[in-house]
Amino acid sequence: MNKAHASGGRGRETSLPVAIQGYEGSFHQVAARSFLGKKVEILPCATFSEVIKSASDPALTKGGIMAIENSLAGSIMPNYNLLQKSNLSVIGEVYLQIDQHLMVNPDVELDQIREVHSHPMALQQCLGYLNQYPWKLIESEDTALSAKQLMLKKSKHTAAIAGKLAAELFGLKIITPNIHDVKHNYTRFLVLSRTPEVVDGANKASLNFHTDHAKGRLAEVLTLIAGEDINLSKLQSFPIAGSQFKYGFHADLEFDHIEQFNNLLKKLDKSTEYLKVLGIYKKGKYKK
């Protein structure tokens, strides 16, 4: 799955959608459009596990988009485990600014609102604004779904919190934009494919490794990374299933030339018990 394919390449693969978590109008769809173009089709999935399953099925999709971390909430730990256990490869990433907007049906004004519906996380992110009003806050399973339900029910006393795309798709009016408390809130999304791709100009890689847990072994691995003048942009530990509190590591590495990474792999092969390259790709840019 790549940008050329998404814009009209060859074969049945190009006609298939991309699996995302959430509903039409969600931030996952925004991320998919950002990487693959506005015409990309999506397959909404209720859970991240379903995203991985659907992205792995060549009869259903040409890949998937999955959130992996947020600048406020931190790492989405279950998703690291899902990725590591899958046969999918990371072929790209998207950093998306999460802007939350208060939206209503077109003929509704602020003083008519009695309830506000959205995902619990979105409500939490907007409490500074919401606490100014005596509105009842109703939790839902998805921001975009809240917007869609608002449109379908045509309520004059209900508002939803969601992203700009949801308002556009469902014909809603953004009555108050950017109501989130922290104005620089980013989510990082991974672009997943069944086929590994190393594009020209690749300067980032994700890998998973275990050491033998001898004293200083992790420090040895980190020294090898630094020795190749590679930036360790993320190191995430997680327990190895079935072990007695032994840990594996997810690492994101940034480099100037692919040769640096290839040289590192040769050295890491001797210093780790387990090593899996999850993907080699171009570092994402921050987008609104």
Q: So what's the pLDDT on residue 11? A: 45
Q: Which residues contact 212 (CB under 8 A, 6 or more apart)?
A: 273
Q: So what's the pLDDT on residue 13? A: 56
Residue 198 is assigned to a structural domain of this protein: no
Q: So what's the pLDDT on residue 158? A: 98
pLDDT per residue as tens digits for the range 64-86: 999 999 998 899 999 999 999 99
pLDDT band at 1, cuts 50/70/90? Answer: low
**pLDDT (mean) for 188-208:** 93
234: domain CATH number is: 3.30.70.260
Whether the predicted pLDDT of 181 surpasses 90 = yes
Whether the predicted pLDDT of 168 surpasses 60 = yes
pLDDT per residue as tens digits for the range 120-143: 999 999 999 999 999 999 999 999
Helix (H/G/I), strand (E/B), else coil: 97: strand
pLDDT per residue as tens digits for the range 222-250: 999 999 999 999 999 988 877 777 889 99
For 256-267, b/e burial (b = at least 16 CB within 10 A) is: eeeebbebbeeb
Domain range enclosing 271: 204-287
Residue 254 is assigned to a structural domain of this protein: yes
**Residue 50 shares a structural domain with residue 108:** no
Beta pairing class for 64-70 and 101-104: unpaired
**Residue 189 shares a structural domain with residue 58:** yes
Dihedral (Cα; 204, 210, 211, 213), 10-degree rounding = 130
Helix (H/G/I), strand (E/B), else coil: 186: strand
Of 109 and 6, the structure prediction assigns the larger pLDDT to 109
**pLDDT (mean) for 201-205:** 95
Stretch among 89-103, 152-166, 213-227 having the lowest mean pLDDT: 213-227
Q: Which residues contact 186 (CB under 8 A, 6 or more apart)?
A: 70, 71, 95, 96, 97, 98, 286
Question: How many other CB atoms sit within 10 Å of the CB of residue 247?
Answer: 14
**Residue 132 shares a structural domain with residue 93:** no
**Residue 57 shares a structural domain with residue 111:** no
β-bridge mates for residue 272, sequence order: none
Residue 119 is assigned to a structural domain of this protein: yes
Residue 199 is assigned to a structural domain of this protein: no
Residue 123 is assigned to a structural domain of this protein: yes
pLDDT band at 273, cuts 50/70/90? Answer: very high
Residue 22 is assigned to a structural domain of this protein: yes
77: domain CATH number is: 3.40.190.10
Of 244 and 114, the structure prediction assigns the larger pLDDT to 114
**Residue 220 shares a structural domain with residue 149:** no
